Structure 1
Amino acid sequence: MERSTRATPAQFAEWLRQQLTARGYDLRPRGGGQTKFADDSGIGRATISRILGGHGATDTRVLALLAEALGSPLSEVLVRAGILDATELDAVQNPGTTGRRITPEQAADELGIRDEQARRVFLSMTATLQRETPRKNGEGNLA
């Protein structure tokens, strides 16, 4: 069995902390950055605190709001949050490269996603990613 390459909640927290700090949010105690970002993003302050505390996030609405607030592709947030790893994301975004097309349910089965909540998140995210148009940077590469 392959070892998972998915990000951990602690890695997601560190990534989000870096993203917020780079955007000028003061995350020091009493800095007000968490509250300001919660207000700016529409995500509850307790949820922001939980994510930054390393407790993760799997709610698709929260991850979509987070991507929008950061100006990041939802796909990047999903990988950073540990919902998908880069290989799974590639398989979802490029389903024809394997020589056969499978349904999201079949992909969940093949990936061994059995937990009901994780399966719902995976299926929801797969549907979202299949609708997402890849963005290209100025050099013609996918961003």
Structure 2
Amino acid sequence: MEQSDRSAQQAKEFGKWLHHQLVRRGYELSPRGGGRSAFARDSGIGRATISRILLGQGATDTAVLAQLAEALDRPLSEILVRAGILSAEELAAAQTPDGHRQITPDEAADELGIPTDPTSRRLFNSMVETLRTAPGNDAG
């Protein structure tokens, strides 16, 4: 699939997703329902822009996508991926710019050579959780 075809498909999927989100929130999106205008007013995004997105014509203005994220109470990162601005892989790379991803306690135990028996793993996982939630620890 060519890039333009993929982008067009993502724009349509994003429009469907936004439609679902708005209907879930009680916006009536039938032609005379007033939901587009109401959401435009509530979000601060122009009605024409909302209509274009819902029609599957895409949205690439990050300021609009940020407003959309705020209005829907969703993380901007989710909106950027759903809109096709970033792939999930690009987002993950951006969130860990040093190339290191956060590993799970079980992955850390494996790397440290902690035995795989249930008692040793429970003890290790308990210690990790204790350290993670300790007062003054920013990782919690």
Could you state the TM-score of these two structures normalised by the residue count of structure 2? 0.64
Cα distance, 1:47 vs. partner? Answer: 0.4
Identical counterparts, % of pairs: 62
- 1:81 maps to 2:83: yes
Instruction: Identify which of 35, 38, 42 aligns with 1:36.
Output: 38
Q: Secondary structure at the match of 1:15?
A: helix
Larger radius of gyration: 2
Cα distance, 1:95 vs. partner? Answer: 1.6
Aligned equivalents of 2:36 and 2:70: distance in 1? 16
Superposed, which structure 2 residues align to 1:1-143 within 5 Å?
8-97=10-99
Cα distance, 1:94 vs. partner? Answer: 1.1
Cα distance, 1:41 vs. partner? Answer: 0.3
Higher relative contact order (CA 8 A, sep 6+): 1
Gapped runs of 5+ residues in structure 2?
102-140
Deviations along 1:64-90, one digit per CA (max 9) or x if unpaired, are 000000000000000010000101100
Q: Note the aligned Cα RMSD (angstroms).
A: 2.2
Q: Secondary structure at the match of 2:77?
A: helix
Q: Secondary structure at the match of 1:97?
A: coil
Q: Secondary structure at the match of 1:96?
A: coil
The number of aligned residues is 97
Aligned equivalents of 2:53 and 2:29: distance in 1? 13
Aligned equivalents of 1:46 and 1:14: distance in 2? 16
Aligned equivalents of 2:65 and 2:33: distance in 1? 24
Q: Secondary structure at the match of 1:14?
A: helix
Aligned equivalents of 2:81 and 2:62: distance in 1? 13
Q: Which amino acid in 1 is paired with 2:25?
A: R
